[in-house]
Structure 1
Amino acid sequence: MTTVLEILDKGTAYLEKRGIAEARRNMQMLVAHQLDCTRMDLYLRFDEPIPEEQLEPLRTALKKRGEGVPVQHLMGTVFFRAHEFKTDARALIPRPETEELAEWLAKNVSLGAEAEVLDMGCGSGVLGLSLATDFPTAKVTLADVSADALTLARENAAFTGLEDVEFVESDLFTGLAGRSFDLIVANLPYVPDGERSTVAIEVRHDPELALYSGKDGLDLIRRFIPEALSHLKPNGWLALEIGHDQSAAVEALMTRAGLRDVLTLNDLSGIPRFPIARAPEA
């Protein structure tokens, strides 16, 4: 009978031959998910045999991973800031960089008890729902143009027990007329159209609607920033996640729109990733 260590070794070799990055880690995640344990638990179970009824679905998942299906889709869940969320092809897979933005906002933004927060282009909802946990007295709204993404976000709200959250299907602010917010966050599409053939095979499983935005990747952000200012309360915060070479252009858009205190925060890799700005004072 195949042991945990044997399937880890064989599966890792299989994924490496197919060019899957971090093959060992991916295999550990698949095995731990199948055995309903943590990756650390596997080290204590190396010699444990795996029953055939558990090996068969593991082999199926391994084959799909070798074909480029994201490991997060195969497991059906992802951890984001220590919370578990559902993830699938209806929305962008949450990225570690987005966790960094959420952490910064939780530590550096102060909101009043009646504050209103908007997650624009919420996708699976992980960012907005995390902020709902960080700011429990705030009214949090999640908006997206994709009905499928909003359905997943609603499922995640129920999955995490967050009931007092509003969901709005909206093309940017078209469904939010007359509304204003103390904090607007957005992880909008920012990949240039010309990079469709060069993105990683895993990324191609994300919805194109959540990825691509014109020749330089900034078409939607150009629309969004001026509109966002008109929906910010005085001194309100605006925070975005953008591509690795877009900070100068986005800062210029923010300044031109009339936002103040514009700066771009680096991610942990040193890439200017998160433009932050504030609305003018009253």
Structure 2
Amino acid sequence: MSGTVRDMTKAAREALEKAGIPGAAREAHILVAIATGIPRDRLSLSMQDAVEQAQWDALNGILPERLARKPLSHILGQRDFFKHNFKVSPQVLDPRPETEVLVELALAAPFASVLDLGTGSGAIVISLLAERPTGQAVATDLSPAALDVARENAERIGVADRCTFLLSDWFAAVDGRFDLIVSNPPYIAADEMKGLAPELAHEPRLALTDEGDGLSAYRAITAGAPAHLEPGGRLMVEIGPTQGAAVAEMFRAAGLENVAVHPDLDGRDRVVSGRMPQKRD
């Protein structure tokens, strides 16, 4: 098959549009850049270049995966998050831009030690450590495969010597107290799973749902947090947009102060935060 980069881009865009995939034009550019080996920022300057059969074959090898709603990040094997590029795989939750709100809020106050519960790709804890060069962290997950991905990301981004990765069911294998505890736990209720975007079928179910009402992780986290927070330490969790009031009440019931619900850039409730009381004399 002959043609130009423009022809290839048009064919990819039309196929993605026909499949109803949002952002078809942007994704077509990304897929064509992969297939041709042309850097994405140079693609618009190369539209008249001829393409070889091998490049068409490369596109035809990856385009069906996206048409089957495999996440683009899984096809690429990577995802940009906060200030870094992270390896992702079907074994970890694809880091979302809205989770960056949690990172930004966590960085708004000092901390020397952080615990990340259910770390997945490690995107949250690694982003935090990269901004705090003297910080130390512990990151847990129930999935050995997820911990392998997180360790690799920590090595690539240069914080592996400051982060301990533990196979743990929430706090089960965790010792000590921390200035900051963060988590993006599974918060989708079991009866909501059927209504999710098709791409989420390619993500680990364990990272999406508690197979219950979507709140069981918060019950476990708020129950265990007081025993693992330093006086004045902070707890911050990502939530689903309808869960703010329920999770905030769990924080208060656990004895946390200054409990607040924070929105994401779209104005939806996204993070609940609270602080462990200082010791009283």
Report deviation, 1:103. Answer: 2.2
Q: Which residue of 2 aligns with 1:179?
A: 176
Q: Secondary structure of 1:274's partner?
A: strand
1:124 matched to 2:121? The reply is: yes
Q: Which residue of 2 aligns with 1:190?
A: 187
Amino acid of the structure 1 residue aligned with 2:164: E
Report deviation, 1:73. Answer: 0.5
Report deviation, 1:100. Answer: 2.2
Q: Secondary structure of 2:197's partner?
A: coil
Report deviation, 1:36. Answer: 4.4
The change in CA–CA distance for 1:35 and 1:133 in structure 2 (over 3 A counts) is farther
The change in CA–CA distance for 1:31 and 1:82 in structure 2 (over 3 A counts) is farther
Q: Which residue of 1 aligns with 2:137?
A: 140
Q: Secondary structure of 2:9's partner?
A: helix
Amino acid of the structure 2 residue aligned with 1:48: D
In 1, are the aligned partners of 2:83 and 2:127 still within 8 Å (CA)?
no
Q: TM-score, normalised by structure 1?
A: 0.94
Q: When the two structures are aligned, how many residues end up with a matched partner?
A: 277
Amino acid of the structure 2 residue aligned with 1:63: P
Q: Secondary structure of 1:273's partner?
A: strand
In 1, are the aligned partners of 2:101 and 2:271 still within 8 Å (CA)?
no
Q: Which residue of 1 aligns with 2:97?
A: 96
Per-residue CA distance 1:91-139 (angstroms, 9 max, x = gap): 1001001122212322x1112xxx2111110001111111110111011
1:80 matched to 2:81? The reply is: yes
Q: 2:212 aligns with which of 187, 212, 215?
A: 215
Q: Select between 134-143 and 51-60 the one with higher mean Cα deviation.
A: 51-60
Q: 2:201 aligns with which of 184, 194, 204?
A: 204
| Identical positions, percent | 38
User: What is the CA–CA distance in structure 2 between the aligned matches of 1:36 and 1:66, rounded to whole Å?
Assistant: 21
Q: Which residue of 2 aligns with 1:42?
A: 43
Q: Which residue of 1 aligns with 2:67?
A: 66
User: What is the CA–CA distance in structure 1 between the aligned matches of 2:169 and 2:21, rounded to whole Å?
Assistant: 36
For structure 1, the residue ranges without an aligned partner over 5 or more in a row are none
User: What is the CA–CA distance in structure 2 between the aligned matches of 1:123 and 1:95, rounded to whole Å?
Assistant: 12
Q: Aligned Cα RMSD in Å? A: 1.3
Q: Which residue of 1 aligns with 2:12?
A: 11
Amino acid of the structure 1 residue aligned with 2:8: I
Ranges of 4+ aligned residues in structure 1 off by more than 6 Å: none
Q: TM-score, normalised by structure 2?
A: 0.95
Mapping of 1:246-261 within 5 angstroms? 246-261=243-258
